[in-house]
Amino acid sequence: MSGKNGSIKLVAGNSNPILAREIADWLKLPLTKASVRRFADMEIFVEIQENVRGSDVFIIQSTSFPTNDHLMELLIITDALRRASARRITAVIPYFGYARQDRKAGPRTPISAKLVANLITHAGADRVMTLDLHAGQIQGFFDIPTDNLYASPVMVRDIKEKFDLSNLMVVSPDVGGVVRARGLAKRINAPLAIIDKRRERAGESEVMNVIGDVAGYTCILIDDIVDSGGTLVNAADALLANGAKDVYAYITHGVLSGGAAARISGSKLKELVITDSIQPTEAVITSHNIRTLSIAALIGDAIGRTAAEESVSSLFD
Ligand code: R5P
């Protein structure tokens, strides 16, 4: 298969080999033979084992846990490809780690998302493709073309299949996520509620005010990241206390650190639906109330269109 910028090559890092394989299958392309391994002291060593000279190369690598190792792999793979004369290198980063550090949160703190953008650019990437960035403005941290894809079409399809849309309420678990939740609510023609988290005084427990009448509704919480699970579990409790019939969550990136999967399993959430932007752990796979949707076709389509110099945004019309 050849795009307008040379033959298309897909290179997988170690963060999400299952997703990389599914994307390759969707595009009916082989994964490029490459070895990403460690020296005894854990230094990363990369060897691209086939010719990529003049190729349009897509590296598939989420910078998920262990974040620093996966980021370093991405940088070193990019360097190897650049030195091997790839014509164009696109870093496909389904989950962009460090995105939550997108501003100076206090005096003398870093903007790590910008630092990571600089590292990826300086390593030699020509383009970036990512999914549901924590903050859309992070695209501006790159001075190279950056496509931010949305998982919403995949989620909307699933919601339409599973639910009676007439009794659904979309809920943003915090004020910061309202734009994202409103976008999805519009697509399924559902009303929107918002949870306003507030800690009146330091040391006092957080108060969850539900803005909107959720009584009798099946609520769907929408967010970009579930990490510890605390936000979701507390939001589900607040919605049920306000009379919601039941609570589900659709979250793009299942970071699910530490005991998060167990926390979700023990919660009042009926179901948490995530995507495979981060490879699910065994705890996630075996959890009775966590389900994963594949984004392989979405990313595969976006790669195909990028290679053919076609519109990517029209995937979301
Ligand atoms: C915050 O701004 C994000 O959108 C998520 O709400 C947050 O990262 C979730 O974290 P946790 O699951 O640890 O509460």
Nearest CA to ligand 1 atom 8: 225
**Closest ligand 1 atom number to CA of residue 230:** 14
CA of 89 to the centre of ligand 1 (A): 31
**Residue type at 116 in one-letter notation:** V
Fold match between 2-150+296-316 and 152-293?
A: yes
CA of 59 to the centre of ligand 1 (A): 27
Asked if residue 116 lies in contact with residue 110, where contact means CB atoms within 8 angstroms, the answer is no
pLDDT digit string (tens) for 220-261? 999 999 999 999 999 999 999 999 999 999 999 999 999 999
| Cα(67)–Cα(96) distance, integer angstroms | 9
CB 32 near ligand 1, within 6 Å: no
Q: Which of 50, 67, 128 lies closest to 92 in space, CA to CA?
A: 128
Q: What is the average pLDDT value for the chain, to the nearest integer?
A: 96
Where does the pLDDT of residue 206 fall: very low under 50, low under 70, confident under 90, or very high at 90 and above? Answer: confident
CB 67 near ligand 1, within 6 Å: no
Mean pLDDT of all residues in 133-142? 96
**What pLDDT is attached to residue 204?**
67
Nearest CA to ligand 1 atom 1: 225
**What pLDDT is attached to residue 4?**
81
**What pLDDT is attached to residue 5?**
78
pTM of the model as a whole: 0.96
Number of C-beta neighbours around residue 314 at 10 A: 8
Where does the pLDDT of residue 198 fall: very low under 50, low under 70, confident under 90, or very high at 90 and above? Answer: confident
Mean pLDDT of all residues in 186-201? 90
CATH fold for the domain made of 2-150+296-316: Rossmann fold (3.40.50)
Asked if residue 176 lies in contact with residue 159, where contact means CB atoms within 8 angstroms, the answer is no
Q: At 239, is the secondary structure helix, strand, or coil? A: helix
Which of the 8 DSSP states describes residue 84? T
For 152-293, CATH number out of 3.40.50.1220, 3.40.190.10, 3.40.50.2020, 3.40.50.720 equals: 3.40.50.2020
CA angle 29, 52, 82 (to 5 degrees): 125
Tokens of 249: 């969550």
Q: Which of 2, 6, 128, 11 lies closest to 55 in space, CA to CA?
A: 6
Residue 309: is its pLDDT beyond 80?
A: yes
Residues involved in catalysis: 197
| Cα(283)–Cα(212) distance, integer angstroms | 34
Segments making up each domain of the chain, as ranges: 2-150+296-316, 152-293
Residue 205: is its pLDDT beyond 70?
A: no
**What pLDDT is attached to residue 208?**
84
Pocket test of ligand 1: the residue of 103, 223, 253 to mutate, having most ligand atoms within 8 Å of its CB, is 223
| CA distance from start to end of the chain | 26
CB 54 near ligand 1, within 6 Å: no
